[in-house]
């Protein structure tokens, strides 16, 4: 009786070179993912400062509109100092509003302080965390477009973690509310 031989599949497995190439590709992919994760974690850390910067830019816009709507400034005074108005020229530290209730004017108070609840979770207690906003600046730029229209540009700059970021809002304000 004769034996029938059947062909066996190739059972060699992976060669050393194939294994090294696979490990190299896997390493490159993991390093790329680690880089993305690092950027994501850094951006998440900056998120509160980004939100605060946007709020402070909106506050600058609202301040100019309030000055116009409450009529305690004339239309001629709603300008930068260089043009005969009350709003300071250039980037200014984020200071508390002075007696006029407006930010970025000559009577502003000290640098604003962010107050957050401390370990007890309650705001207004002795363990509150106080952070001066000395790494923020705000510029309110008011430019004439016509006799009755002005371009209002508010730029808030924040320095955080060795980086500088800017947030800008541009709008138009008219003489009439």
pTM: 0.72
Q: What are 141's strand-pairing partners?
A: 153
Mean pLDDT (whole number) for 86-96: 96
| Ranges of each domain in the chain | 17-174
Using CA atoms, how far apart are residues 18 and 24, in angstroms rounded to an integer?
Answer: 10
User: In whole angstroms, what separates CA 113 from the centre of its chain?
Assistant: 17
Give residue-wise pLDDT tens across range 94-139.
Answer: 999 999 999 999 999 999 998 888 888 888 888 999 989 999 999 9
| DSSP label of 134 | T
Determine the pLDDT at residue 121.
86
- Please say whether the beta carbons of 157 and 91 come within 8 A: yes
Mean pLDDT (whole number) for 132-161: 94
- Collapsing DSSP to helix, strand or coil, 33 comes out as helix
- Please say whether the beta carbons of 155 and 167 come within 8 A: yes
Give residue-wise pLDDT tens across range 7-28.
Answer: 656 656 678 888 888 889 888 8
Q: Provide DSSP, 68-131.
A: HHTTSS-GGGSSBGGGTSSBPSS-EE-B---TTS-SSBTT--SBPEEEE--TT--TTSTT-EEE
Phi then psi for residue 168, to 5 deg, are: -135, 135
């Amino acid at each position: 009786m004769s034996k029938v031989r059947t062909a066996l599949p190739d059972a060699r497995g992976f060669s050393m070179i194939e294994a090294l190439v696979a490990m190299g590709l896997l390493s490159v992919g993991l390093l790329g993912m680690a880089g993305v994760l690092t950027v994501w974690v850094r951006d998440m850390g900056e998120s509160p400062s980004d939100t605060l910067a946007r709020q402070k830019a909106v506050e600058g816009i609202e301040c100019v509109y309030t000055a116009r709507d409450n009529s305690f400034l004339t239309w001629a005074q709603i300008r930068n100092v260089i043009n005969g108005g009350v709003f300071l020229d250039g980037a200014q530290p984020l200071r508390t509003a002075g007696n006029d209730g407006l930010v970025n004017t000559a009577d502003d108070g000290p640098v604003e302080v962010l107050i957050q609840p401390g370990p007890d979770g309650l705001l207004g207690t002795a363990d509150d965390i106080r952070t001066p906003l000395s790494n923020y600046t705000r510029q309110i730029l008011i430019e004439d477009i016509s006799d009755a229209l002005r371009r209002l540009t508010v730029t808030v700059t924040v320095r955080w973690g060795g980086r500088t970021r800017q947030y800008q809002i541009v709008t138009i304000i008219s003489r009439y509310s």
